[in-house]
Structure 1
Amino acid sequence: MTFAVLPADAGRVRVIVVGAGPMGRAWLRTVLDEEGVELAGIADLAVAVADDAAVEVGVPGIATGPDAVALARRTGAQAIVDATVPAAHHVVTLAALRAGIPVLGEKPAAATVAEALSLAAAARVTGQLFMVSQSRRYNDHLFAARAAAQRLGRAGILSVDFFKAPHFGGFRDEMASPLLLDMAIHQFDMARFVLDADPVSVLCDEYNPSWSWYAGDAAATAAFEFEGGARFVFTGSWCSPGAETSWNGAWRLSAEHGTVLWDGDNAPTVDAVGDGSAPSAEATAPGDGIAGSLREFVVALRTGEEPMGRVHENILSLAMVEAAMLSAREGRRVTLDEILESSLSAALAAERDAEVRDVMAGWGSAREALQSGG
């Protein structure tokens, strides 16, 4: 599926950043540092917070307002960066797409897979790009690990250990499944990238250590089966002080012709035998973290080139989270297709936009629709 691109003579891409909290301010700094992008304004329901953010990042007096679409129209912005909390992603993104404005959104694509499917259909209806920023994909070392995986042949087991102890405060402390929903989606998405495959099923155990400062379960172990037979095992905790891992996690891939180790911070090491020792040209990320996803978004808007995080490609990463959560609640193996199809039914039941609903109603299956771009 193609999407609208900017005119060939367009200058810097003017963007509105929506959400002026800590993540929004990180995005503001990134936008201001990116040569091909111009900050046109800051939207937040609390306009005073947007004004304060403008002062903090060095652009006092820039246009602010409570409504992203209205602000984009007032300032002539060409795109929106959605850095709001997950519960707001659906309403913010849908309004922008319906207004003919492409969106780069913070992960997850939406609060639920059902809402994300609705947004994928809305992107199809409007012909606008909706890209999700899975920022931890944008890492040269991860690209090197993927290249090594490709030359080591068939994958057996990919595992990651993730142990941190952050005290965030705010919405994360109150989430039902803070580790899985807010953090593990990164590692789940990275696993899809390294293995270049999609998940089939998961068995997950989720729990909350007695000393945890989170209201919801902050620790989990999830074992996924992937297409082709590979397994991916995530083990992690968000209340694990001492000897903490990288924010990327500590990785090991066991494959047909050797092993890849990556500590999440430094270049991966490869112990290869036989055909796995053959050299390969290793691609690099277009940039680091959210700067990389912003840069890829801009390139896509200028050229029509398919970005990694386009919503249709990204939804399975969120579906992995919901499948893991359901598995933990019900104590059974859950298939990804179960999540996708139940989410599609829920999306159809909730959809109020007739055109969006018609697109979803025409999907033979959710997985086939995502694989084909809707």
Structure 2
Amino acid sequence: MTRFRVLAVGAGMAVDFWLPPLCARKDVEIVGIVEIEAGRERAEAALTKYELACGVYTDLSEAIAQTGANLVANITPPLVHRQVAETALYAGCDVLGEKPLAESLEDAQAIVDAARAAGRQYVVMQNRRYAPGLRALRAGIAAGLIGRPTFVTSDMFLAPHHYGGFREEEMASPLLLDMAIHTFDQARYLIGSNPVAVTCHEFNPESSWYAGNAAATCHFEFANGTVFSYRGCWVSEGCTTSFDSAWRVTGTEGNALWDGVGQPHAEVAVRTSEETYFLPTKAVAWPEAAQARDFTHHAEAIDAMLDTLAADDIPETDCSDNLTSLLMTFAAIESARSGRTVRLDELTDSNRM
């Protein structure tokens, strides 16, 4: 029985990640595609590609009224996220939205306020937190298999050449705003706490084809005392990591590693009465990761979001929670701009979050 009557808004590259898992669900009916930026041509191409028997629209309000949609998939660029969100929410639709939540903290807060006022859900597509390997890594950490986490590091080094558009031509901080937010959200999920301060340096390597800064290092301090160190580069050719980064979690009893692709593994110290330069270590039996359904994890994310909405519960990446992941990004950008450590509450105080 169909529960979700879905309007897909935006027919750019990301629609190829969203539509297959949406169409695969028996409780979903795609009732229309809306292209508010590029006109009907891209929307009609998506219609043909996915063999959808639904209408094509250029006006979201009209599309909602004509289709009776109750869920909007906001797959538009960040610049128009607020516009789409407010239109959909006030029309009575729940929304699944592409990351980042918005292009500014002001717009992000406006989306959160609109969701509350409308009594609807706005859920952010943080698909990387649904990577089965990451879920397994967190399960072992939560079980205390390496003690309490004290230091978490991630490395993401890639060089995708196919993005183009606003990421390459318009964003001042494409790595931090468009990609690092995935890793920042993953770090919050792993650590189980929220950050309080960040020191960041961002730059644009000589080999970069981006107009904005495509590389950065960040040092986050979390409320529970854990330190998170991020290194990322969007124009790194050769010896690349996965999109899910390469992770090390140092705990009070040992270390866990996940390369972003395979199974996590860990070793802990063996405490003995004998004095040694290095304590002996032993491997730890770690929770096994399920098989990933695709490399982007959109399928896992969409299933989790829709299953939670169907149960009338609040999804993990509800906009009010995801605001903190976005805040990490803007605090990092402000730290890089000002050359100082930035406390996240400096931004929340000024934006009443």
Q: What TM-score does the superposition give when structure 1 sets the normalisation length?
A: 0.85
- Select the structure that is richer in helix: 1
Aligned to 2:128: 136
1:322 Cα offset (Å): 0.3
1:237 pairs, out of 233, 236, 245, with 233
Letter in 2 for 1:84: T
**Distance in structure 1 (CA, Å) of the matches to 2:212 and 2:308:** 38
Describe the SS at the equivalent of 1:189: helix
Shift, 1:34, TM fit: 2.3
Q: Which residue of 2 aligns with 1:173?
A: 168
Matched letter for residue 40 of structure 2: V
Verify: 1:18 aligned to 2:9, yes or no: yes
| 1:200 CA displacement | 0.5
Give the distance between the partners of 2:291 and 2:150, measured in 1 at CA.
Answer: 25
Q: Provide the residue aligned with 2:149 in structure 1.
A: 155
Instruction: Confirm or deny: 8 A CA contact 2:74 2:85 kept in the other structure.
Output: yes
User: Are the structure 2 counterparts of residues 218 and 278 from structure 1 closer, same or farther at C-alpha, using a change threshold of 3 Å?
Assistant: closer
Question: CA separation in 2, counterparts of 1:63 and 1:325?
Answer: 41
Contact persistence 2:136–2:287 (CA under 8 A): no
Alpha carbons of structure 1 residues 166 and 277: separation in structure 2 relative to 1, 3 Å:
closer
Q: 1:337 to 1:274 in 2, by over 3 A?
A: farther
Instruction: Give the Cα–Cα distance (whole angstroms) in 2 for the partners of residues 293 and 136 of structure 1.
Output: 8
Q: What amino acid sits opposite 1:13 in the alignment?
A: F
Aligned counterpart, 2:343 = 335
1:287 offset after TM fit, Å? 7.2
**Counterpart residue type for residue 245 of structure 2:** G
Structure 1 distance, partners of 2:197, 2:24, is 41
Equivalent runs, 1:309-320 vs 2, <5 Å:
309-320=317-328
- Superposed CA RMSD in Å reads 2.1
Residue of structure 2 equivalent to 1:33: 24
Q: Can you give the 5+ residue segments of structure 2 that lack an aligned partner in the other structure?
A: 272-281
Paired residue for 2:190, among 191, 194, 206? 194
1:47 aligns with 2:40: yes
Other structure's SS at 1:309 match: coil
In the TM superposition, residue 281 of structure 1 has moved relative to its aligned partner by: 6.8
Structure 1: runs of 5+ lacking an equivalent: 1-9, 345-365, 367-374
Offset of residue 283 of structure 1: 8.9
1:196-228 CA distance string (max 9 Å, x none) = 110000000001111211111111000000011
How far off its partner does 1:22 sit? Answer: 0.7
Q: Distance in 1 between matches of 2:166 and 2:264?
A: 34
Within the candidate set 295, 311, 317, 1:303 is matched to 311
Q: Cα deviation per residue 1:310-347 (whole Å; 9 max; x = unaligned)?
A: 01110110100000000001100001111122223xxx
Cα shift at 1:285:
10
Give the total of aligned pairs. 335
- Name the structure 2 match of 1:253: 249
Distance in 2, matches of 1:303 and 1:337, equals 33
Which one-letter code corresponds to 1:20 in the other structure?
A
Q: Matches of residues 270-309 of structure 1 in structure 2 within 5 Å?
A: 270-273=266-269, 289-309=297-317
Partners of 1:138 and 1:132 lie apart in 2 by 12
Deviations 1:26-59 (A, max 9, x none): 2122211223211111000212221111112222
* Amino acid corresponding to residue 258 of structure 2 in structure 1: W
Query: Quick one: distance in 2 between partners of 1:181 and 1:301?
Result: 27
C-alpha distance in structure 1 between counterparts of 2:291 and 2:95, whole Å: 21
Deviation at 1:182, TM superposition (A): 0.5
Higher deviation after alignment, 69-78 or 243-252: 69-78
Question: For the Cα contact (< 8 Å) 1:108–1:318, is it kept in 2?
Answer: yes
Within 2, Cα distance between the matches of 1:138 and 1:286?
9
Whole-angstrom distance in 1 between the partners of 2:315 and 2:269:
34
Per-residue CA deviation, residues 241-276 of structure 1 (Å, 9 max, x unaligned), is 011111111110101121110000111111134699
- Matches of residues 75-154 of structure 1 in structure 2 within 5 Å? 75-150=67-142, 151=144, 152-154=146-148
Contact (CA 8 Å) 1:139, 1:287: kept in 2 or not?
no
Determine what percentage of the aligned residue pairs are the same residue: 40
For 1:263 and 1:280, how far apart are their aligned partners in 2?
A: 15
Structure 1 residue aligned with 2:276: none
- How far off its partner does 1:277 sit? 8.1
8 Å CA contact retained: 1:34, 1:291: no
Secondary structure of the 1:149 match is: helix
Shift of the 71–176 alpha-carbon distance from structure 1 to 2, 3 Å rule, reads same
Measure the CA separation in 2 of the matches of 1:75 and 1:285: 36
TM-score, length-scaled by structure 2: 0.90
